[in-house]
Structure 1
Amino acid sequence: MKFKFKMLKLLSVVFALFLGFLGSTKVSAATSGDYTIKPGGTSNDVVNIDNGNYIITGDPGQTTEIKLIVINKAEDARNFIYYASTAYTNDNGSLSYNKTKVTDSSLKIQTKDALSPKKSTFKVPGNTTATITLKVTVPEKKFTGTLMGGVTVAPYKEKAKGTVGSNGNLIKNKFSYSIPIQIHQKGAENDEAKYSIRTVKPSLTTSAKGKNQGVEANIHNSTNSYTGPLSAKAIVTKNGDKSFKITQVYSSQSIAPTTNYNLPISWGKKTLQSGDYHLKLTYETAGGIKSWVLNKDFTITNNDAAKYNKLAGVKPNYLWLYILLGILALAIILGLGIYLGKRNNKKNNNGGNGGQPTRRRRR
């Protein structure tokens, strides 16, 4: 898996552990970043190399080896860094392996701790393949379901290469690649997914069209379960306003075991308004074979609505105020007209003498 690697953050924790290389061969396939990685070796009773993933099933405490192939397509020798990680779900709804530390209230076993070494820097000659041997130990602590993590390789201490985007801006890219790892204990049962909405808060949502006002729902999976890519549908309604409805559909959401992530829900052209709302969120497996329906009430305050509308560049709409002032002015004019009309009628009926009846003289 490819992701943008934050080098400055990682440099503070890197230490030199050198790995052994087993042979070298010439390669010919070009890839982004002039390098790539892939699983090496063959499947056996403990390690199954399935669709580019390592799937490991063993007894508690059992140790096995996996092979990691790094292909350097550049002409010159390059330094790389390898590290192990625990899987999590990013806010795009995708599995990620780029954090050296993952935290969650339900996470009891860090998958990265099952790999040895956890980090290392190494050099690969130009136009050469290097094979690295890693050890994986099935945790001794009993668990059910699946532990998920990954092995990641990225260039070490290299400057990002610049490309010019369609808008003329310079884009600097750093390429990294990851291979997922799943670990199971022999005989252990699978875990059923337990999804929940922990919070819903106003926020800025990002799309191809830019930033929009909206909310983000923090979704939590509290078990060691992975059900594969899910489709999702979010429906937001407002209490007391039957005309208000926000609907957003997501084609692929991959929720890692014991993880949480923020699902963005854009308000689109609608401005955020204070009030009480309800979110109904439905996840479905491929073909709709299994589904989960989640519900959550939430509130948007005046301050939050104003804050995120402003951050999204939404200009206040004073049309309602102009309409109200117009109605008020019309009401005043009409009221004044009616009052003056009644007063004039009263004067006319009373002879126009200040309201006092006129008296006739006797001749």
Structure 2
Amino acid sequence: MKFILKSTIFILSLIIASFFTMQLNSAYAGTSGDYTLKPVESENSKVNVDGGFYSVKGNPGEIVEIKVAVYNFEKDERQFLIQGNTAYTNSDGQPGYDLTKVTDPNLKIQLRDLFSNNKKIVNIPGNSNAVVTLKLKIPSEKYIGYLMGGVNVVPYNEKAKGTVTENGTLIKNKFSYSLPIQLIQTGANTEDVNYKINSVKPQIIDGSSGKQIGVAARVSNTNNAYIPGLSSNAVITKYGNKKFKMTASRDNQSIAPTSHYNYMVSWGKERLQAGKYHIKLTYSGNGVRTWVLDKDFVITDAQAAKYNNLAGIKPNYLWLWILLAILLLALILGLGIYMGKRNNKDNGNNNQLSSNSRRRRRRR
């Protein structure tokens, strides 16, 4: 019986001592474009460039000129593509102006569509510059707040430059520069920002140590308003588990008007587990104003299994092994008790037979 118990404890210890490990790798690179941009004053006083961007204010239907100087620092002549685009919010929480197609449920007027001579290709000699003019029409229809976009400049018909990382990975990037545009109608009413979380879903996040599991909170600004340089803090908790807590914080979050982006919260090396969760996301501007966004969300068993697999995290069957070990232990203990009782019964029967045999011999 003692041998059986010792064997069971030894087997259980081996099962509980089994662990899984995971190895992650990543690479980063950067590049340079060898050119730069500068906003140029226009003869039309309705275009202001004092802040390093274009602040446009005019009457509905009016046409204004947007002028940009492009400086080519290379010795050879180069071609550049210049075009006006609609602002969006990129994955870093910053306005972007390099997409020719931007969609959002709250976006009614595309600033890109207001340019009459968009998408210009210009030749600029080496170590020289050129001034390019785009014509922008202020919308005829009235709107509240202001529209946002930008002038984007990228080398034309040039191959992406490659950079080799420390682990031998080749990364190719094309560099582009942009200058923001803020467009408002004369006499238009201002509008305050309106932030909200549309949804929260599992996501694979490319972190400094490789692929990680996390969630993406789809945050949107539904109004034609913009506040730059916000600080943010996200806290995720799980219903029924007071110990669970995931956090993330970022500075310099600037959500473009009528746009959205994914606010990432990493689980680190933790496995994604099914259940009901809550996210509290707080934005603050200059310590004066704060916006608190709350939303419940659910992670299903299927989602947890899918994204754990995508991140290279193997299923955790430790609970199953522990359960099997407990069942095995119970079986062995039950078998041991049964065998013990059986032995005691057999011994009792043998003693009774021996006693009866002695009685018979005495009668003779």
Smaller-chain TM-score range?
A: 0.7 to 0.9
Letter of the 2:143 counterpart: F
Deviation at 1:278, TM superposition (A): 1.6
Deviation at 1:46, TM superposition (A): 1.6
Alpha-carbon contact 1:90-1:261 (below 8 Å) kept: yes
Verify: 1:118 aligned to 2:118, yes or no.
Answer: yes
Structure 1: runs of 5 or more not aligned: 5-30
Letter of the 2:57 counterpart: T
Report 1:212-361 matches (<5 A): 212-287=212-287, 289-345=288-344
The DSSP-based 3-state class of the residue aligned with 1:227 is coil
The residue aligned with 2:26 is none
Report 1:169-188 matches (<5 A): 169-188=169-188
Deviation at 1:275, TM superposition (A): 1.6
Distance in structure 1 (CA, Å) of the matches to 2:65 and 2:251? 36
Alpha-carbon contact 1:114-1:137 (below 8 Å) kept: yes
Deviation at 1:59, TM superposition (A): 1.8
Structure 2: runs of 5 or more not aligned: 1-28
Larger helix proportion of the pair: 2
The DSSP-based 3-state class of the residue aligned with 2:332 is helix
Alpha-carbon contact 1:145-1:190 (below 8 Å) kept: yes
TM-score, normalised relative to structure 2: 0.84
TM-score, normalised relative to structure 1: 0.84
Deviation at 1:334, TM superposition (A): 2.2
When the two chains are superposed, the root-mean-square deviation of aligned CA atoms in Å is 2.5
Alpha-carbon contact 2:202-2:216 (below 8 Å) kept: yes
Letter of the 1:192 counterpart: D
Distance in structure 1 (CA, Å) of the matches to 2:308 and 2:77? 51
Structure exhibiting the larger radius of gyration computed from Cα positions: 2
Alpha-carbon contact 1:284-1:292 (below 8 Å) kept: yes
Distance in structure 2 (CA, Å) of the matches to 1:142 and 1:353? 109
Residues 352 and 250 of structure 1, relative CA distance in 2, 3 Å threshold: farther
Deviation at 1:83, TM superposition (A): 1.1
Query: Once the two structures are aligned, what percentage of the paired residues are identical?
Result: 54
Deviation at 1:322, TM superposition (A): 2.2
The DSSP-based 3-state class of the residue aligned with 1:334 is helix
Deviation at 1:108, TM superposition (A): 0.6
User: Cα deviations across residues 247-298 of structure 1 (Å, max 9, x unaligned)?
Assistant: 11122322111111122221111101112222221111132x1111112222
Residues 188 and 83 of structure 1, relative CA distance in 2, 3 Å threshold: same
Deviation at 1:149, TM superposition (A): 0.1
Residues 358 and 100 of structure 1, relative CA distance in 2, 3 Å threshold: farther
User: Cα deviations across residues 46-65 of structure 1 (Å, max 9, x unaligned)?
Assistant: 22213321011122222222
